[in-house]
A = this chain, B = another copy of it.
Amino acid sequence: MISVGIDMGSVAAKAIAYDGKGIAAKVIMPTGWSPKETGQKIMEELLRLGNIEREQVAMIVGTGYGRIALPFIDRKVTEITCHGKGAYYLNPAVRTVIDIGGQDSKVIRVDEEGAVVDFLMNDKCAAGTGRFLQVMAHALEVDVSELSQIARGAEPRSINSMCTVFAESEVVSLMAEGASKESIAAGLLQSVVNKTYSLASRLGIQGKVFFSGGVARNPLLSDLLGQKLNTEVFVSPLSQFNGAIGAALIGYEHLIKG
């Protein structure tokens, strides 16, 4: 009996197959222009990679902003709930989840069973999200995946504007003045950390912190976040799948309950 979780994010689609013992298969692909088509594709790919028959899948749970575009799912669950559950699975000691996705960021407080106690979300402002880093990487003429690497060890140039639009102009000016890409990249990561910190402070940080979402793959960012929060920040190699894992687990719980 298999439960599938699909997290259709704004930038990346993630799918997880859970068989009651562990993760049987996982797939990630770009969401692209059509979440609907991507949903079909990621489902096929998941079955193929996991060597799973369609009939074995007893439940499909969708989450993420594009979940409404998936006609074949059995349930829809909010990202907040899924991220809480996923973080609990990956590290049961966690009480705070910080998720920075392609277009939003969230801070979620969970109880000792991974249920959501409280949360704050920013999906109105691109600052402090993956989108900010994408715009800035473009201005720096590097790939977003390189930011952490080039920034490590550099003296950060502080970026005054929180706003993505104004910060982009600042980056262009700093480059024209001859500031190094390394120092600018370090400043930009610090800017994301500061913005995340202000969201986290509004909710209040409790217990161990789990960092999830696509932006969590940036290793320097999680280090800087830990320094700023003055606490250990836990990142899993499966961090990006956190929402999909939570969705699959929630589906599985429904199956065994009834």
Contact = CB atoms under 8 A, between A and B. Distances in A.
Number of copies: 2
Contacts of A135: 165
Contact of A164 (B103, B162, B165): B165
Nearest to A129: B165
Give the contact-size bracket for chain A. Answer: 10 to 19
A198 to B, nearest CB: 12
Contacts of A126: 163-166
A125 interface: yes
A174 to B, nearest CB: 13
Interface string A155-185: 0000001111110000000000000000000
A131 interface: yes
* Most central of A124, A135, A163 by chain B CB within 10 Å: A163
Nearest to A166: B126
Contact of A103 (B103, B132, B166): B166
12 contacts: A103-B166, A124-B161, A125-B125, A125-B163, A126-B164, A126-B165, A131-B165, A131-B166, A135-B165, A163-B164, A164-B165, A165-B165
